[in-house]
């Protein structure tokens, strides 16, 4: 594999991890807002933010899944 090709693959992996981190940061923010709403007895608002948090976690999981599938496709099983 050429150095530019290797660098492109590494950049792709880094971008997927950055995207996953961004989604998880969004999830954390929504979870904090949900907690505040639940403490204030605002159940519908809390639930809306809780579901938003869950959606961001799922999106992060998809990004990490892409990386895992790429890794699996390129790996060699050691014997």
Q: Is residue 45 part of a domain?
A: yes
Q: Is residue 78 part of a domain?
A: no
Residue 79 confidence (pLDDT): 62
Q: Is residue 21 part of a domain?
A: yes
Range of the domain at 52: 3-72
Whether 49 contacts 37, CB under 8 Å: yes
Q: Is residue 77 part of a domain?
A: no
> Can you give the pTM of this predicted structure?
0.85
Q: What is the pLDDT of residues 12-37, one digit of tens each?
A: 999 999 999 999 999 999 999 999 99
- The Cα 24–Cα 66 span in angstroms is 16
Residue 58 confidence (pLDDT): 98
Q: Is residue 29 part of a domain?
A: yes
- 37 closest CA partner among 26, 53, 48, 24: 48
CA distances from 69 to 22, 41, 65 (A): 20, 42, 6
For tokens 């990386």, the residue is 67
Number of domains in the chain: 1
């Amino acid at each position: 594999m050429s150095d530019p090709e290797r660098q492109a693959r590494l950049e792709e992996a880094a971008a997927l991890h950055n995207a996953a981190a961004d989604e998880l940061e969004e999830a954390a923010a929504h979870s904090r807002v949900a907690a505040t709403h639940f403490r204030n007895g605002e159940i519908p608002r809390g639930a809306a933010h809780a579901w938003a948090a869950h959606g961001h976690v799922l999106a992060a999981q998809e990004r990490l899944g892409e990386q895992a599938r790429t890794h699996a496709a390129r790996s060699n099983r050691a014997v």
